[in-house]
């Protein structure tokens, strides 16, 4: 037993294979496999090219795009209307029990409602959102008119009236607040320029305050946005009445254009502005 033991002790090194060749074989096999895989494009790693030439950019970007993105034919977006995002409060003066100034043939409350409804139509056709203080023969208190405009966060307030002076005066006036902002002044000037272009008997100017020089008209004082009051000719003057009736459409269009121009001047193109509510709020603070 002792000799066997001794033999075994001697033989052992030769029977045990050294682990080194086996390891070498494994490494060689692995390296060979990786090399072959890489060469034939089976493996993503490119271990054997120290300076792999980068694939052309077009090749990289084009392949996944073609594979993943289906061809979509973009529908042309409809052109936004120039007035989108603008809110205008139109206030036809008087109404109901309050006829305004009148003659035997006509009442101010009826004339201004007709013009105001025409203005609404023209403005809405341009994408402007219109809020009316009244759309029929209803009496509305002055402060309620202002509240309607303020609550709607209107960008502009346009009150529509006709004038009276006992038959001695004619032509158009526009009123603004003593504290009119630049924007309100610009709106007033722009509307007057438009009315002149259409044709009025006399430009009596853009004026501040009120006819009786007793501060601002209530609707100009209590509205939070740029506001103007239009006196669209004298109701007892035949030629003013003729122009008022004949030019109702054209006046409405020119007033609408003045709104768009003023907005463009102070706020840029409505179509470019994504957030009209922020501008409405900013305007309301003026």
Please report, as ranges, the residues that interact with Zn ion according to CB under 5 A.
Answer: 93, 100, 161
| Number of alpha carbons in the 13 Å side-chain half-sphere of residue 145 | 29
Q: Which is nearer to Zn ion, 210 or 286 (CB)?
A: 210
**Residue 261 CB, nearest approach to Zn ion (Å):** 26
Q: How far is the CB of 229 from Zn ion (least distance, A)?
A: 8
The residues pairing with 92 across neighbouring beta strands, listed in sequence order, are 160
- CA-wise closest residue to 174 among 232, 117, 122, 225: 232
**Nearest-angstrom CA–CA distance, 48 and 109:** 92
CB of 205 to Zn ion, least distance (A): 18
Whose CB is nearest to Zn ion?
161
- Convert 225-243 to b/e letters by CB count within 10 Å (16 or more is b): bbbbbbbbbbbbbeebbeb
Of 37 and 209, nearer to Zn ion (C-beta) is: 209
Cα separation, 110 vs 230, whole angstroms:
15
Q: Which is nearer to Zn ion, 91 or 279 (CB)?
A: 91
Q: How far is the CB of 93 from Zn ion (least distance, A)?
A: 4
Q: Which of 193, 200, 196, 197 is nearest to 243 (CA)?
A: 200
Instruction: Compare residues 145 and 161 and give the one whose CB is closer to Zn ion.
Output: 161
Q: How far apart are CA 82 and CA 84, in angstroms?
A: 6
Give whichever of 163 and 283 is closer to Zn ion, judged by the CB atom: 163
Residue 238 Cβ vs Zn ion, minimum distance, rounded to whole Å: 19
CA 183/CA 186 separation, integer angstroms: 5
Shorter beta-carbon distance to Zn ion: residue 93 or 95: 93
Contact 170, 234 (CB under 8 A): yes
Contact 136, 109 (CB under 8 A): no
Cβ 155 to Zn ion shortest distance, Å: 23
């Amino acid at each position: 037993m002792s000799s066997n033991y001794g033999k075994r002790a001697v033989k052992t090194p030769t029977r045990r294979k050294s682990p080194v060749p086996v390891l070498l074989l494994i490494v060689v096999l692995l390296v060979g496999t990786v090399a072959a895989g890489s060469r034939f494009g089976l493996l993503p790693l490119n271990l054997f090219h120290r300076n792999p030439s980068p694939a052309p950019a077009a090749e990289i970007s084009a392949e996944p795009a073609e594979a993943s993105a289906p061809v979509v034919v973009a529908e042309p977006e409809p052109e936004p209307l120039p007035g989108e995002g603008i809110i205008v409060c139109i206030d036809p003066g008087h109404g109901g029990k309050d006829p305004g100034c009148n003659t035997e043939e006509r009442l101010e409350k009826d004339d201004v409602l007709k013009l105001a409804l025409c203005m609404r139509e023209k403005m809405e056709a341009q994408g402007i959102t219109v809020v009316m203080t009244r759309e029929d023969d209803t009496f509305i208190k002055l402060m309620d008119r202002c509240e309607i405009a303020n609550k709607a966060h209107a960008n502009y307030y346009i009150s529509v009236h006709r004038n009276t002076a006992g038959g001695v005066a004619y032509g158009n006036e526009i009123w603004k607040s003593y504290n009119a902002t630049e924007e309100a002044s610009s709106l007033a000037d722009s509307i007057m320029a438009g009315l002149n272009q259409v044709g009025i008997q006399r430009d009596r100017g853009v004026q501040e305050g009120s006819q009786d020089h007793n501060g601002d008209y209530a609707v100009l004082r209590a509205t939070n946005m740029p506001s103007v009051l239009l006196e669209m000719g004298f109701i007892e003057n035949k030629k003013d009445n003729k122009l008022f009736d004949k030019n109702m459409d054209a006046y409405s269009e020119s007033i609408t254009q003045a709104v768009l121009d003023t907005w463009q001047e102070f706020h840029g193109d409505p179509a470019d502005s994504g957030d009209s509510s922020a501008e409405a709020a900013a305007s309301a603070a003026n």
